[in-house]
Structure formats: C-alpha cells, structure tokens
Chains A and B, each alone.
Chain A
C-alpha cells in the first residue's frame, strides 16, 4: 500500500476505552506540538463519533476531525490488535484505527496525499491488512 508522509504508527499496549485512547493520543501529539489544545481535538473526535459511527471494516475504524488546534495534518495507524477496543454500542471490537487529524489550513498537496491514502482503504482487505502485524518503525508511539 502506498504510504503517506503524514503517517505515524501507534501501538496500544494496554486496555483502553475509546475516549482514553483519543485522550492519550492527543496528549502525546500535544507534547510534540502537533496539537495545541489536546482536549479540543478530543472533543472534536468524540463529536464526530456521536454523529455517526466511523467503522470502515468490521474491525477497523476511521475516527477523524479537522480543527484549528491541529497544526500538522496526521494519519495515525493505531494498532490495538493485542488490546481490542470496544467501539460502539453494538459491541464491535476494533483492532486498528486510521485516525485522521486534519489541520484547518492544511495545504492542498497534503490533503491530496491523505485523500489518495484514504481511497485505498475502500478495499476492506487493504484496510484490514494494515493491522495484521505489529508496527516496527523506529518512531512508533507506544501507549
């Protein structure tokens, strides 16, 4: 699969709820100055989840938001295969998340790269395959 330079891997190493996960991820990105106000980003992600579910396959979800507090657009591939997260009221458990955090003033070339990446996920096999193994990249965030 064609990766985007905005992509960052995250490995979940404990049981977390959806809100806890959003909170931890946004705080880490806050520490990296990617997000200025993590709680605003978390609220935006939760608001999107409240509007409608974001499952893109039976085991992968795509939480996403666009906010002024996001300074760099990011695609986070969150692998929670070892600690699946209960995603909705129906009890779906996800093993991977494709988190899209979009800057309000994202550049067009960035948006195009992200769009290209997202389109590939329309094939559920491709989306599921992202989380078959564990991330090995050196810059993987562990939470």
Chain B
C-alpha cells in the first residue's frame, strides 16, 4: 500500500469509529505494522496542521478529532489527504481543488498561503487564479472574497452546493460501482458507501427503482450535504426561504425523505433542519421513479398541459402527425418530475446529449425551440438542453414507430434462385423492411410501373436502366458488408423523418 493510500484508509477507518480505537487494531485492519500506523498519524497531523486531526489518549488509543472541522481553519479531510499527491496538477485542476476546498468550508475563510501550500506557485499565479475563479463562481452568483491573507467564497447555500456538484462532476457515472474510477476529485469512501447504502435501502423500502441519472443526482446531493454540515455545521444549512414548496406531497416519498434525513443525522452527527428533509423529498419527487407513478394519486394538470403542448408544437414544427396516445403517458411521467427539477434548481445531466444531437438533429432542435416557448408560456425557469434531449428521446421513438416502413423488391435473373434465398435472409436480418415481391429481371422490366412504390431494390445482379429506384447489389451470401450497405440506404431513406 502506498503512503497516500494508507493515510486515506486510516482516515476512512477512523471515521467509522464512534470512540477510541487502538493502534494495534488499526494495524490489523490495514495489514501494516503499528509503527506504520503511528507514522501515518504523525504525517497526517503534520500535513493538516494544528489543531491535530487525529488525537491520541494514553491507554485508550486514537480518535478522529470531529470538533476540528468546526474550527476556523478547518477543512474537509479528504482534501487534506488529496494534497499529498497533488503536486503536479494542471492549472485548471489546481483551481478546481482550491475552489472545492473553499466551497466546502464556505462562508469560512482559509489562509491563502495554506491553501496553496502544496502547489508551489508564485503570488502572481495565485492572483491570476483568483480572477479566473471569480469568473467561474460568478455564473452561480458566488464570489471569492479576499481579506488580508485569507480567502473565502460567499453566496447562497444552494449555489454553493450546485458549484460543488459541478466541480465534483460525476458525469459518466452510470453505476455506483464506478464512482471511484470515474470521479476526478477525491471522494471519501466511507461517505460514498454510506450514501449508496442509503439510496439502495430507500429503493427497497419504497419497492421502486430510482433510475439513472436521478440516482446519481440524489447521491451527489446527499454526499455534498453531509460534507457541508460536517465542515461548517449549521452555516451550511438551507435558509428557510429556500424550502421547496410542492403543494401535493406523496406520503410514501415524504416518509422516505424523513427516514433518509434521520439516518444522515445519525451518521454525520448533525441536526438537519426541515428544509433539508424537504429538499431530499424534492430530489425523490424529481426522479423518474418507476413503479411509483401508478401509485401517485393525482398528476398535476400543469404537467398534462405542458406534455400536450410539447406534442402539438413539436409535431407542427416537424410537420409530422405524432399520435398523442402513444407518447403522452410517458411524456407526462417525464414532465411531472421535470417541473419539480426546474423549480428547485435540480440539474439532471443527460449523458446522451451529444448523441441525441447527432442522431436526431431535427427532433432535438424542434424540442429545444418548443422548450423555450413553454418556459415562457408557463413562467418556468429556462429549460436546460439536457432536459430537451431527454424529451427528444420520446419524440424520436414516436417518430420511428409512426414512420411508414420501407418497402422493397428482391430480384435476381430468375426470381427463383438467389432472390428466394435473399428473401429469407432479408426477413431474418432486416425484419423492419416490407418485401413487396421477389421477381426475375424480366418480370421487373415488363412490370416496372407496378413496382414504382417500392423504396429500393435488393438484387443479386445489376439492373441496367434503373435510374429512379435505388438498387443495392448484394451477394447471395448476404455478408455483413451486404447488410451494412442496405442499412446505410435504410438510414438515408429514413433520414427525412430525422
């Protein structure tokens, strides 16, 4: 185990203890000698500075100094540990680390020299960092405050959490199992495990599944909440005027939010105000929870109207008649929690955003246009492109289902030999295609008019003089290359609807 890993593991172990633990027990857990444990304790305490983060008591053992986090100079432990291996960070990563440290202790300040202790940069670099950090914070309504030799971040608690969430960047984590491999910032393993268990238990209790990306959103919210309270106590609580105001509350979800809050209080040794319970409730309510929608008593009329508007306006922009019956139920189920997310500033990252933009540009653009209009019409906050991309998926599915299937003709010289073989192979491999007929070359040439409605022809031999209908010449083997050539034409011909 490398030095940094021992320090991190030691801290994780100590956080799990309610009272003193002997160095011997720690050494057994870590599979290192007691001497190494003592060396690690000395190293951590030296790095973090006074007051000591790990205290020792003769005859009792060692304990984490929980009160240290409430001290003016206190910082979040994981970041102290992260310092041990951050000497060669790029400027952007350095600024990210600095911001995260300041945000976790906001509104408290940290000595700038101490903040930059391990980066070995000049005052001019620090000054430049401050400008860039301020620009970045400005988009969240936050500001970097410099008083003498100390720096702090000031602003709204919700904004602080949102900024931490963005910097923590759990983008790409679609499974809790890969949180550590994908996250760019150091995460406290014990906290991570606790929050994952918390979410999994909630799913069990509710007999539901919180789908991606809402599970990651909830994870991020609780993880940040715990660490805000741990670092700055009640100074990290949401003001009462930021308590979300859902009028109709789902009793099951509310009870679940209360249970979650109670467990967080016990775990982090904090008292959570009602605002936090309400916010956790909003996260649950904003998740597109499967199995629960059937049990939800009333769907708000507003969600129905907005979903209906989306269908009508997107249909009009795309000039396609989309069947409301097929798309509305799912869309309403999406819009309902989306409204909640918008009203409570909960951002749902859409991992498929770029893919959706590329695959369905026309649909995506139409949905974005309609989103802007709907935000105005219904007095909503700006609807982010990630949300529009989610909605685009429903329309893409509906469009694909409503699109007329492509009709084809299969031909060969006799219409009996390789063409009949192809009929079977095409039906098996490209079932979405409708085979209007299997013909010989002669039959086709004589009855060409009869087949003017087909979208393209698959033939084992070239068809001379055919200039109107696309002809794809394939081998009777119907290789992967042949199939790819057909799919390319199918995509091109279907493109009119995309």
Which A residues are within 8 Å of any B CB, using their own CB? 48, 51-58, 62, 64-66, 100, 102, 111, 114-115, 118-119, 121-122
A1 to chain B, nearest CB (A): 14
Chain A residues with CB under 8 A of B416: 64, 66, 100, 102, 111, 114-115, 118
**B interface, size bucket:** 10 to 19
A105 to chain B, nearest CB (A): 13
Partner of B417, one of A51, A55, A57, A62: A62
B438 nearest in chain A by CB position? A115
B473 nearest in chain A by CB position? A52
Chain A residues with CB under 8 A of B4: none
Q: Is B440 an interface residue (CB 8 A)?
A: yes
Q: A56-B476, A56-B477, A62-B476 are in contact. Are A51 and B413 (CB under 8 A)?
A: yes
Contact in complex: A48, B421 (CB < 8 Å): no
A115 to B475, CA, bound (A): 18
Contact in complex: A122, B414 (CB < 8 Å): no
Per-residue A-contact encoding for B466-498, CB less than 8 Å = 1, 0 else: 000000010111000000000000000000000
Contact in complex: B421, A66 (CB < 8 Å): no
B460 to chain A, nearest CB (A): 5
Chain B residues with CB under 8 A of A121: 421
A66 to B413, CA, bound (A): 8
B152 to chain A, nearest CB (A): 73
Contact in complex: A53, B475 (CB < 8 Å): yes
B427 nearest in chain A by CB position? A122
Chain B residues with CB under 8 A of A52: 460-462, 473, 475
Chain A residues with CB under 8 A of B424: 119, 122
B498 to chain A, nearest CB (A): 32
Which B residues are within 8 Å of any A CB, using their own CB? 413-414, 416-418, 420-421, 423-425, 428, 440, 460-462, 473, 475-477
A102 to B477, CA, bound (A): 21
A115 to B419, CA, bound (A): 10
Partner of A64, one of B417, B423, B462: B417
Chain A residues with CB under 8 A of B417: 54, 62, 64, 100, 118
Chain B residues with CB under 8 A of A48: 413, 461
Contact in complex: A64, B414 (CB < 8 Å): yes
Partner of B413, one of A57, A65, A114: A65
A138 to chain B, nearest CB (A): 27
Chain B residues with CB under 8 A of A111: 416
A140 to B473, CA, bound (A): 35
A120 nearest in chain B by CB position? B424
A92 to chain B, nearest CB (A): 10
A121 to B419, CA, bound (A): 12
Contact in complex: A122, B477 (CB < 8 Å): no
B107 to chain A, nearest CB (A): 73
Chain B residues with CB under 8 A of A102: 414, 416
B349 to chain A, nearest CB (A): 46
Chain B residues with CB under 8 A of A100: 414, 416-417
B476 nearest in chain A by CB position? A56
A117 to B350, CA, bound (A): 52
B459 to chain A, nearest CB (A): 9
A100 to B461, CA, bound (A): 16
Q: Which among B413, B417, B423, B477 has the highest number of chain A CB atoms within 10 Å?
A: B417
Contact in complex: B477, A57 (CB < 8 Å): yes
B100 to chain A, nearest CB (A): 60
A56 nearest in chain B by CB position? B476
Partner of A119, one of B421, B460, B473, B475: B421
Chain B residues with CB under 8 A of A51: 413, 461-462
A122 to B418, CA, bound (A): 9
Chain A residues with CB under 8 A of B414: 64-66, 100, 102
Given A52-B461, A66-B414, A122-B421, 8 more A-B residue pairs with CB atoms under 8 Å apart are A55-B476, A56-B476, A56-B477, A57-B477, A65-B414, A102-B416, A115-B416, A121-B421
A75 to B210, CA, bound (A): 61
A65 to B423, CA, bound (A): 18
A118 nearest in chain B by CB position? B420
Partner of A55, one of B423, B428, B473, B475: B475
Chain A residues with CB under 8 A of B462: 51-52
B25 to chain A, nearest CB (A): 65
Partner of A62, one of B418, B440, B461, B473: B418
Q: List 18 A-B contacts (CB under 8 A).
A: A48-B461, A52-B460, A53-B475, A53-B476, A56-B418, A57-B477, A58-B477, A62-B418, A62-B476, A64-B418, A102-B414, A114-B416, A115-B420, A118-B420, A119-B420, A122-B421, A122-B424, A122-B425
A65 to B418, CA, bound (A): 11
The 7 closest A-B pairs by CB, nearest first: A122-B424, A64-B417, A51-B461, A118-B420, A66-B414, A56-B476, A52-B461
B428 nearest in chain A by CB position? A122
Chain B residues with CB under 8 A of A118: 416-417, 420-421
A65 to B416, CA, bound (A): 10
Chain A residues with CB under 8 A of B475: 52-53, 55
A121 to B425, CA, bound (A): 10
Partner of B476, one of A54, A65, A66, A119: A54
Chain A residues with CB under 8 A of B420: 115, 118-119
A62 to B416, CA, bound (A): 11
Chain B residues with CB under 8 A of A65: 413-414
Chain A residues with CB under 8 A of B461: 48, 51-52
B483 to chain A, nearest CB (A): 14
A100 to B476, CA, bound (A): 14
A111 to B476, CA, bound (A): 19
Contact in complex: B477, A55 (CB < 8 Å): yes
